[in-house]
């Protein structure tokens, strides 16, 4: 069984802060990478729907903000 050393409150808060900073940087980096490939990801998600659409038709967005998700 693992034994934990006793830490003061400030040590816990320092460790929490460093974990939160690393997590925030990882999420930001992941968002930046995904945002740079937004068109490819959007086409990948919409490919099954586009394959079953009739020829010479397009997607219709029912609300104003829906079109901005796959620009």
Q: Does this model's pTM top 0.75?
A: no
Q: Domain-by-domain residue ranges, the chain?
A: 9-70
pLDDT tens-place string over residues 29-56: 999 999 999 889 888 888 888 888 888 8
Q: What is the pLDDT of residue 67?
A: 66
pLDDT at 45: 84
What are the E-state strand segments in 1-71? Answer: none
DSSP 8-state code for residue 66? G
> What is the predicted pLDDT for the residue at 59?
74
58 backbone dihedrals φ, ψ, rounded to 5°: -140, 170
Mean pLDDT over 15-37 rounds to 96
């Amino acid at each position: 069984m693992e034994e934990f050393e006793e830490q003061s409150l400030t040590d816990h808060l320092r460790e929490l802060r460093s974990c939160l900073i690393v997590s925030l940087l990882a999420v930001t980096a992941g968002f930046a990478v995904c945002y740079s490939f937004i068109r490819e990801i959007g086409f990948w998600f919409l490919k099954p729907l586009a394959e079953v659409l009739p020829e010479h038709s397009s997607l219709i967005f029912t609300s104003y903000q829906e079109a901005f998700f796959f620009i």
